[in-house]
Structure 1
Amino acid sequence: MKRFSGKVALVSGGGRGIGRAICVRLAQEGANIVFNGRKNDENVAETIRQVSETGAKVHFIQSDISEVSAVFAMVEETLKVFGQLDILVNNAGIEINAPFWEVTEKDYDSVMNINLKGMFFLTQAFVKYVKENNRAGVVVNNSSVHEELPFPNFTAYCASKGGMQMVMRNLAVELAPLGIRINNVAPGAIKTPINADLLSKPELLSTLQNNISLGRLGEPEDVAAVIAFLASDDAKYVTGSTYYVDGGLTFHYKEQ
């Protein structure tokens, strides 16, 4: 039997990149999928196509997770469509590149509202459902190596991911009596649309790869595989942890 047969997963930001890979991987292992995005575009259509090809059912919700009312509505719509919710993957996130002294309030709010506030309240909506219905549940957050690793010119992003790390650790303790596990996955440099500019510049790419122990960028499927593990009963004794999927980037060290 597939690991997620009979289960429903809600994935925020599933339209492309790592989010799409998560949707497809969980679907391949038997889960029915709900995912959201701010736009209903060709990326959404491609995720729906790939998930449908696995034989799983899939439902898209157009919504903005920076709005608290929207995240509660996402859970409600998931329940209307599938009647249950078992797995939450907080994947949606953005980053804005700017020197600290040039970061605007709008920039800061955009990053924090999606990366941290959205994750916080979507998890709250999920927990309320689980608690009220006396069900078990699992939450996996797609964080970043930058919950631990400094990243100059991305201070707001690092703050949001550091906040995600502390929320996860706190909730691991608070939610365990309810039968809810929560963990983070921290990707390093992954081949996604967000890194398109980097991938087009061989010199910058070479410098980065020299700081990765395995010497290459990861694939979205590498991240999705670890998220699938943490969402499954194979990880039933794992909570409060961050799993790095970074090819050795975070703690890279070698003598010159």
Structure 2
Amino acid sequence: MPSSLSYSLAGKVALVTGGSRGIGAATVRRLSKDGAAVAFTYSASGEQAAKLAAEIESAGGRVLAIQADSADVDAVRAAVAETANAFGRLDILVNNAGILVRGLVDDYDLATFDRMFDVNVRAAFVAIQAALPHMQSGGRIITTGSVTAERSGFPGSSVYSMTKGAIASMTRGLARDLGPRGITVNAIQPGPTATDMNSSEESRALTKPLMAIGRVGEDYEVASLVAYLASPESSFITGSALTIDGGYLA
């Protein structure tokens, strides 16, 4: 193994969309701990974003919180530009912003359908387009998908599952587009994880018996996979949708 390979992200710059809460916030913390300067976007959680930024700064990290609605194409592009302008480069893009609105197909609102697609899929594509002019060989693009791309599991998740299936498919295509430029593109597919999206006791009670290890995941566990994919150690992994689900799909 070449001695240059390292988990350290010192000198690297990352942008994490949807980074103020849950898996996004855990990813911001982990990438910062590994040495990267980290920008992150948030939509409505301004107080949480400020607390997270203060936490990173107090630990000696370089951080930038950017308010941006991922459904707004111009806001997504502006967030990428602001990150590159603030830190002088962009090496790692983590498309983590996502929403989940359940509903049966019979009366699912099309405006909600469109917003789910805009935030979960289009925003990732737009951010990647905007990031590429700033990325060099060795760049890393990581998008948060879901195990629902493989198994919806419960009624009312068809639209969310569709968006996450699109992420897996897009990841494979983009890996082909960007491989010759030395940029890897991967997705992670978390299973049930202790976040706001899976916060109710009822939801966790339903999923716990389905977990091979008998518990739901923690946000920092998912962030560890993101950190690995962002590191030089992962240079031979691209076009993959990597499941991290405690055996939910086993």
Q: Match for 2:172: what amino acid?
A: R
Contact 2:7 2:228 in 1 (8 A): no
1:49 is aligned, of 22, 31, 54, to: 54
| Cα distance between partner residues in 1 of 2:104 and 2:50 | 36
- Aligned alpha-carbon RMSD (Å): 1.4
Matched, 1:179 2:178: no
| Cα distance between partner residues in 2 of 1:81 and 1:73 | 12
Measure how far apart 1:49 and its partner are: 2.5
4+ runs of 1 displaced by more than 6 Å? none
Q: Match for 2:34: what amino acid?
A: E
Matched, 1:227 2:226: yes
List runs of 5+ in structure 1 lacking aligned partners.
252-256
Measure how far apart 1:205 and its partner are: 3.0
Measure how far apart 1:50 and its partner are: 2.7
List runs of 5+ in structure 2 lacking aligned partners.
1-5
Contact 1:188 1:247 in 2 (8 A): yes
Contact 1:216 1:247 in 2 (8 A): yes
1:1-256 aligned within 5 A: 3-39=8-44, 41-130=46-135, 134-151=136-153, 152-197=155-200, 199=201, 201=202, 205-251=204-250
| Cα distance between partner residues in 1 of 2:54 and 2:196 | 19
Q: After the TM superposition, which of the residue ranges 100-109 and 37-46 deviates more from structure 2? A: 37-46
Q: Match for 2:138: what amino acid?
A: A
Contact 1:35 1:61 in 2 (8 A): yes
SS in 2 for 1:10: strand
Q: After the TM superposition, which of the residue ranges 72-81 and 229-238 deviates more from structure 2? A: 72-81
| Cα distance between partner residues in 2 of 1:168 and 1:206 | 32
| Cα distance between partner residues in 1 of 2:7 and 2:225 | 16
User: TM-score of the superposition, structure 2-length normalised?
Assistant: 0.93
Per-residue CA distance 1:34-55 (angstroms, 9 max, x = gap): 0001125221122213322332
| Cα distance between partner residues in 1 of 2:244 and 2:59 | 25
> Percent of pairs identical after alignment?
35
| Cα distance between partner residues in 1 of 2:45 and 2:190 | 26
SS in 1 for 2:199: helix
Contact 2:7 2:233 in 1 (8 A): no
| Cα distance between partner residues in 1 of 2:30 and 2:109 | 37
Contact 2:99 2:120 in 1 (8 A): yes
Contact 1:8 1:84 in 2 (8 A): yes
| Cα distance between partner residues in 2 of 1:48 and 1:2 | 23
Per-residue CA distance 1:54-85 (angstroms, 9 max, x = gap): 32111011111212222211111112211111
Per-residue CA distance 1:161-207 (angstroms, 9 max, x = gap): 0000000000111110011101111110000112222x2x3xx5333
Q: Which residue of 2 aligns with 1:254?
A: none
Kindly tell me the number of residue pairs found equivalent between the two proteins: 244
Contact 2:89 2:134 in 1 (8 A): no
Contact 2:17 2:96 in 1 (8 A): yes
Per-residue CA distance 1:124-166 (angstroms, 9 max, x = gap): 1112332xxx543110111110111124201111111000000
| Cα distance between partner residues in 2 of 1:139 and 1:71 | 15
User: TM-score of the superposition, structure 1-length normalised?
Assistant: 0.91
SS in 2 for 1:167: helix
| Cα distance between partner residues in 2 of 1:205 and 1:192 | 11
Q: After the TM superposition, which of the residue ranges 165-174 and 135-144 deviates more from structure 2? A: 135-144
Contact 2:144 2:188 in 1 (8 A): yes
